[in-house]
Structure 1
Amino acid sequence: MKQLSKIQTALMLAFLVTVWGINWPLTKAALAYSPPLLFAGIRTLIGGLLLLMVALPRFKKLRFKETWPIYLISAILNITLFYGLQTVGLNYLPAGLFSAIVFFQPVLMGVFSWLWLGESMYPLKIAGLILGFAGVAVISAAGFGGHISIAGILLALGSAVSWALGTVYVKRTGGRADSIWMVALQLLIGGVLLVSSGHFSESFSAIQWKAPFILSLLFISVFVIALGWLAFFTLVGSGEASKVASYTFLIPLISIVVSSIFLHEPLTVSLLAGLLLIVTSICFVNITPKKLKTPALAAEKKAVHLKKLLPRGKRKTVPLTKLKTSSADGQ
């Protein structure tokens, strides 16, 4: 996947954490007008249909016979299980505690990326991931009161695990499927599965098609679902999955700030403490030790040099893993 510039990465990250942060209070408000599974399915389907219109001109890149298992597995992990377990689980746990468990995802991402993507793991990154989760826990501490359900905790953990596994899966298979088709079909398949589940357990007649609901539905479908997931997987494909995931620690923070402004929920000292932990976490995760940075930089320079030596028509990207292997053999 094409590498993003630093400015493109920063803008896309800012957009992503902002719209996904706004999503939580908007969804909370919209659920007053609709059953949860049907709402999750409808917004996902709308987002998928919007991206389908963008993907259709790239029809030749679909290669559905070869890649359909990728789309299906991605849809089940990132959409059906992630949103399905989330919407059901919120009935069993306070929202603060549930969101804190769900945002254990970046920590899981760090571990899974190390195990299955070969991303580096070092003490500073481990400390950063733990600090980020601690920051989310501190911010969400106000919601820790009330009845604690084992079923709710398991559903929240399931939501976090499915999202982390889905992200790693997309990163591993990203070169085999077109990115826009990946997100579009993931949303369409996941949306159909969610609406089907809602059809058997909920009622379409319970949806109140009032202006606040319609506006929330449209905003979430366009910005949170269609553009949000496209931005997320573009970022994951362009850089280290664990580093991208570390920025999602900011989402609960933005959610609480927006809720305090529009839903008149109180701001607390724990918000500032959590903010400090999260910012420190992101800094730690995104600082690469010199001993890891130097070999990677040398391999990258070697790849560029070798590419220049080849005739124009035969230039291909030299995999860094091969360069590292050959360098090691020569030592």
Structure 2
Amino acid sequence: MSTGRDVGLFVALAAIWGTAFVAIKAGLSYFPPVLFAALRYDIAGLLMLGYAVAAVDQWRPHTKGEWSQVVVGAVLLIAAYHAFLFVGEQSVTSATAAIVVSLSPVLTTGFARVLLPDQRLSTLGALGLAAGFAGVVIVARPTPDAVFSADVVAVGLVFAAATAFALGSVLSKRIAASLPIETMEAWSMLGGAAIMHAVSYLLPGEAFADVIWNGEALAALGYLAVVASALGFLVYFELLDRLGPVEINLVSYVAPVFAAVAGWALLGEVIDAGTALGFAAIVFGFALLKRRAIARKLSAA
């Protein structure tokens, strides 16, 4: 990060996405989880589509490849990721959810090595992937008599969310399409919201009548839709162009710090030593997997 503007935007994005986990946790007191996620992306998708219409030349997909990219984004990057995350976060702290989600860049690299023909996983890369998985196990800390406890299952659901996001990221790269990222995100958000509404309709306890509408509920929904999704992705797009994929992935490892601090200050959540150790293992795994790219960045700096 070569300028103060880059650093400022990076920290702002980490803060926005870290505190988003706290907003999810707070909002789950008032919304059924899948319906909550769907409503978030109803709003965010419309805002992002409006931005795409104003900012890019192509505001909607045209080719089969472009629609395929949107379908992958809607199913995996939006619907599966957020449905699993919102359901899982009912039983884990904001910081724990953020830490498990921080495994996504590690999983993305692992999927890329398997699914992209020009990628290959070295011995150190395999160790990095194993370290990331070990970090999730440390965070979950399953015991033989409590493998299916609510906490362990919840961590598993958040891990499924991270896996869906990583797989979607890699599959979208395999598709031969040049859809602007703003357009892809907008239509993926709207498609993902529609999928989550359908899933919500089929689940018990997911009716609009189960929503408790009050100021805190609206604040949580508004923050997630407008700040964390629409504004957050706009900041992400700019940083991706300016910094590249390696440095922007580091946001995943700063966001849990903001999630932990905000969760403690606003919700009284506490992060224990085991969770912190699991986070360290995930960061170590990312460092092993991206060691060459990180070394090039440090050398250039």
Fold-level similarity (TM above 0.5): yes
Find the aligned partners of 2:250 and 2:168 in 1 and give their Cα distance: 16
The gaps in structure 1 that reach 5 residues or longer are 298-331
Cα displacement string for residues 163-198 of structure 1 (whole angstroms, at most 9, x for unaligned residues): 111112334458610111111111111112212322
Aligned to 1:177: 179
Q: Is the 8 A contact 1:103 1:136 kept in 2?
A: no
Query: Does 1:28 find its partner at 2:25?
Result: yes
Aligned match of 2:73:
74
* Shift in CA distance, 126/253, structure 1 to aligned 2, threshold 3 Å: farther
Instruction: Name the residue aligned to 1:87.
Output: 86
Instruction: Say which is worse superposed, 42-51 or 82-91, in terms of deviation.
Output: 82-91
Alignment of 1:14-53 (within 5 A): 14-53=11-50
Read off the aligned partner of 1:16 and give its amino acid letter.
L
Match of residue 62 from structure 1: 59
Moved more, 193-202 or 18-27: 193-202
Other structure's SS at 2:62 match: helix
Match of 1:148 in 2: 148
Name the counterpart of 2:168.
166
Structure 1's 130 and 10: CA in aligned 2 closer, same or farther, altered over 3 A? Answer: farther
2:196 aligned partner: 194
Alpha-carbon shift at residue 248 of structure 1 (Å) = 1.7
**Contact 2:15–2:255 at 8 Å: present in 1 too?**
yes
Name which of 192, 196, 218 aligns with 1:214: 218
CA distance in 2, matches of 1:94, 1:156: 9
Report the TM-score when normalising by structure 1. 0.69
What secondary structure sits across from 2:265 in the alignment? helix
Equivalent residue pairs, number: 287
Between the aligned partners of 2:122 and 2:8, the Cα distance in structure 1 is: 27
Aligned CA distance change for structure 1 residues 98 and 256 (closer, same or farther; 3 Å): closer
Listed as ranges, the matches of 1:116-127 within 5 Å are 116-117=115-116, 118-119=118-119, 121-122=121-122, 126-127=126-127
* Alpha carbons of structure 1 residues 29 and 258: separation in structure 2 relative to 1, 3 Å: same
Distance 1:130 1:256, change over 3 A: farther
1:182-261 equivalences under 5 Å are 182-201=184-203, 202-232=206-236, 244-245=248-249, 247-261=251-265
**1:33-89: per-residue Cα shift (whole Å, max 9, x none)?**
111111100111111111111111256413523122221221111011111233344
From the superposition, tell whether residues 190 and 226 of structure 1 become closer, same or farther in structure 2 (CA, over 3 Å). Answer: same
- Aligned-residue RMSD, C-alpha: 3.9
Structure 2 unaligned blocks of 5 or more: none
Maintained 8 Å contact 2:18/2:257 = yes
Give the alignment of 1:289-304 within 5 angstroms: none
Shift of the alpha carbon at 1:160?
Answer: 2.6
Question: CA deviation digits over 1:240-263, x for unaligned, max 9?
Answer: 757644542443343222211211
Equivalent residue number for residue 308 of structure 1: none
Higher relative contact order (CA 8 A, sep 6+): 2
Secondary structure at the residue paired with 2:54? helix
Q: 1:123 to 1:241 in 2, by over 3 A?
A: farther
Helix, strand or coil: the match of 2:24? helix
Report the 3-state secondary structure (helix = DSSP H, G, I; strand = E; otherwise coil) of the residue aligned with 1:192.
Answer: helix
Q: Which moved more, 1:206-215 or 1:258-267?
A: 258-267
Q: Which of 1 and 2 has greater Rg?
A: 1
